Amino acid sequence: MATNKEVRHRVTGENPTLKSEMPADQREGSRGRGLRVAAVALLSAFLAASCATTEEEPREYDESYRPQYHFTPPQNWMNDPNGLVYHEGEYHLFYQHNPSGNDWGNLSWGYAVSSDFVHWEHLPVAIEETDELHIYSGSAVFDADNTSGLGTADTPPLVAIYTGHHKMRSIQDQRIAYSLDNGRTWEHYEGNPVVDDLRSNFRDPKVFWHEDTDRWIMAVALPTFHRIQFYSSPNLLDWELESEFGPAGSTDGHWECPDLFRLPVEGSNGESRWVLQVDINDGAIAGGSGAQYFVGTFDGSTFRKDPETEGEVHWVDYGPDFYASQSYSGMPDDRHVRLAWMSNWNYARNKPTDPWRGAMTVPRQVRLIQTAEGPKLAQQPVEELKSLRGEGVHLKDVSISDSDSAYTDDALEGISYELVVKVEPQDAHTFGLRLRKGEEEQTVIGYDVAEEELYVDRTQSGRSDFDPDFPGPVQRVPLPLHDGGITLRILVDRSSVEVFADRGQVAMTNRIFPDHSSDGIELFAEGGTVRLKEFDFWPLTSVW
Ligand code: FRU
């Protein structure tokens, strides 16, 4: 007779989370090991339902490691997000894609749309490579006033600005394609390229409309020179070089995928600041590729970083799997939303997924928050993701001490879920969570009280034999205690963990490749006791 767990695995190919509310008497003021929820009735009901579906074929998007609420292409290779634009009720998501293989190559723009940032409809490849060119990364805008003349007053175009990478000559230039049917079909502009400097490394144009000077601005990278160039244009077709920024900050690797945007500074007197994000490959904070940013001013011509931000490099995300992030243009509300490729060039090509390779982070709303060290970026998953929350487990005021070698609860398990955890260390020197825990696997999100540092340890997180660079060292980031505690929001999916802390000022993104059966969640304290002020767990429903 199979155990409950075995039955569930066999039936669905995954290990769905038990959805249970803690009984009220155990929810508040309960303590440590005593708290174990049987959930027998729920489990029996679940098993009855599961058995009925034993003969069903596994559903699509059910492969090992297939994220259940993060965007992935149905098949084949994906890297950077491209052309993120909202238009006519849809969030358009283009991406670097190999339409005919699961390795980097044949670079084209893959395509999907969503009306809620959560459910995505896959569409045919939007812009295909040509005999001469790979279609490298770039951005897209809605040319509402038809400044380009590529549409009409009645049907203004969506315009994509991408890098053409010449296959035979070692040259990269900036090019235009346009669509008059909301992205479904694209024409290349006859006058391409629109910016050409005969350079072999010149790529990733991010274009936006600059209100104050009434013109388009393009930020584009000179990767090997550690410079970002800014061009201006009245019509998206004729571009003039305005200025250059860099080298600055981290210059250990090539600079790629710039993004420039303005945000209000929360906690200031109505000020706003410009943020220039510059990705770097390699030499980033967690090794390999990553994203740094500069805060400053932009007058439509020149970006100047604030003098007080000299010195320390600011990282958008402190984990190893956050690259090539880009902002949505033309948002229908005043939110600033971005998403990134959840990978790292160090091992991207070897990740053990098939028939696809590559995933995006969840879309994140980004804000600028005033701090003692100047304005800092903060990010949180978009609100829409809350719609995936199933029935959760909620605990309040539970003490965990090192004599409870680990605290867990029968109702707490899963492989696609969200956690919000508010903890106050008392006399413990270390505490944290062991997630995706199996007999020999775990991903640890921990806090070192003396150092006031958050850490993520994926050294035993699951498969790592595919690349020696993958597990990497334990990642550590300063995280001061606030009101004597810390609050973590954690998104776990079949092959990723995203951690947000300190109102989102700290984000750490990791891919992990644990076994399906590694579904345990444990809380631990070392050297003393911690107080779990609040603990919220929600299973997240698959979007597929
Ligand atoms: C970043 C990047 C870009 C380039 C694209 C090619 O990941 O190297 O600079 O445009 O990928 O796929």
Interatomic CA distance for residues 494 and 507, integer angstroms: 19
Query: Rounded to the nearest whole angstrom, what is the distance from the C-alpha of residue 322 to the centroid of ligand 1?
Result: 13
| Residues comprising the chain, all counted | 544
Ligand 1 mean position, distance from CA 69 (Å): 24
CA of 219 to the centre of ligand 1 (A): 15
Residue 385 backbone phi and psi in degrees, to 5: -65, -20
Name the strands in the sheet holding 520-526, side by side, starting at the edge strand that comes first in the sequence: 475-478, 453-457, 443-448, 430-437, 520-526
Which of 204, 254, 277, 357 maximizes ligand 1 atoms within 8 Å of its Cβ, making it the mutation to test the pocket?
204
Identify the pLDDT of residue 389.
98
Provide the residue ranges of all domains of the chain, joining segments of one domain with +. 76-383, 389-539
Tens-of-pLDDT digits for all 544 residues of the chain?
A: 222 222 222 222 222 222 222 222 222 222 222 222 222 222 233 333 333 334 455 558 999 899 999 999 999 999 999 999 999 999 999 999 999 999 999 999 999 999 999 999 999 999 999 999 999 999 999 999 999 999 999 999 999 999 999 999 989 999 999 999 999 999 999 999 999 999 999 999 999 999 999 999 999 999 999 999 999 999 999 999 999 999 999 999 999 999 999 999 998 999 999 999 999 999 999 999 999 999 999 999 999 999 876 778 999 999 999 999 999 999 999 999 999 999 999 999 999 999 999 999 999 999 999 998 899 999 999 999 999 999 999 999 999 988 766 777 777 899 999 999 999 999 999 999 999 999 999 999 999 999 999 999 999 999 999 999 999 899 999 999 999 999 999 999 999 999 999 889 999 999 999 999 999 999 999 999 999 999 999 999 999 9
Beta pairing class for 475-478 and 453-457: antiparallel
Q: Which amino acid is it at 181? A: D
Pocket test for ligand 1, best of 76, 96, 277, 360 (most atoms within 8 A of CB): 96
Q: What is the rounded CA–CA span in Å between residue 315 and residue 322? A: 10
Specify the pLDDT at position 310.
72
Determine how many CB atoms are found less than 10 A away from the CB of residue 144: 12
Q: Is the dihedral of CA 194, 296, 289, 519 positive or negative?
A: negative
What strands, in cross-sheet order, belong to the sheet with 76-87?
Answer: 121-127, 108-114, 90-98, 76-87, 356-357
pLDDT at 3: 29
Question: b/e for 211-224, b at 16 or more Cβ within 10 A?
Answer: eeeebbbbbbbbbe
Residue nearest ligand 1's atom 6 by CA: 136
Cβ atoms of residues 92 and 111 within 8 Å: yes
Is 231 in contact with 220 (CB distance < 8 Å)?
yes
45 DSSP assignment: H
Q: What homologous superfamily does CATH list for 76-383? A: Glycosyl hydrolase domain; family 43 (2.115.10.20)
Ligand 1 nearest atom to the CA of residue 341, by list position: 7
Ligand 1 centre distance from Cα of residue 529 (Å): 47
Backbone angles phi, psi at 384, to 5 degrees: -55, -25
- CA-based radius of gyration for the chain: 24
SS3 36: coil
Q: 204 alpha carbon to ligand 1 midpoint, in Å?
A: 7
Ligand 1 nearest-atom number relative to CA 163:
10
Among the atoms of ligand 1, which is closest to the Cα of residue 289? 7
- Which atom, in ligand 1's list, is nearest to the CA of 80? 7
Pocket mutation for ligand 1, best pick of 106, 108, 137 (most atoms within 8 Å of C-beta): 137
If one counts every other C-beta atom within 10 angstroms of the C-beta of residue 57, the result is 7
Task: Calculate how far, in angstroms, residue 80's C-alpha sits from the geometric centre of ligand 1.
Answer: 7
- Please tell me the predicted confidence (pLDDT) of residue 59: 56
At 311 the pLDDT is: 76
C-alpha dist (Å) from residue 434 to 56, 106, 538:
33, 40, 16
Using the atom order of ligand 1, give the atom closest to the CA of residue 204.
10
CA angle 362, 364, 370 (to 5 degrees): 155
Q: Which atom of ligand 1 is nearest to the CA of 137?
A: 10
Question: Are 145 and 87 spatial neighbours (Cβ–Cβ below 8 Å)?
Answer: no
Within 10 angstroms of residue 542's Cβ, the number of other Cβ atoms is 18
Residue list, ligand 1 pocket, CB within 6 Å: 79-80, 96, 107, 136-137, 163, 203-204, 256-257, 323-324
Bridge-based pairing state of the strands 430-437 and 443-448: antiparallel
Burial of 449 (0-12, 13-18, 19+ CB in 10 A): buried
Dihedral of CA 491/27/439/9: which sign? negative
80 included as an active-site residue:
yes
Q: Which amino acid is at 305?
A: K
Pocket test for ligand 1, best of 202, 206, 257 (most atoms within 8 A of CB): 257
* φ/ψ of residue 45, rounded to 5: -60, -40
Pick the CATH number of 389-539 from 2.60.120.560, 3.10.20.810, 3.40.50.300, 3.40.50.720: 2.60.120.560
Cα(83) to centroid of ligand 1, in Å?
13
**Which one is catalytic: 80, 143, 173, 279?**
80
| Backbone φ, ψ for residue 193 (5° rounding) | -75, 160
Element housing 7 (H / E): helix 4-12
Q: For the chain, first and last CA: distance in Å?
A: 31
Nearest to 18 by CA among 337, 348, 412, 537: 412
The three-class DSSP label of residue 189 is: coil
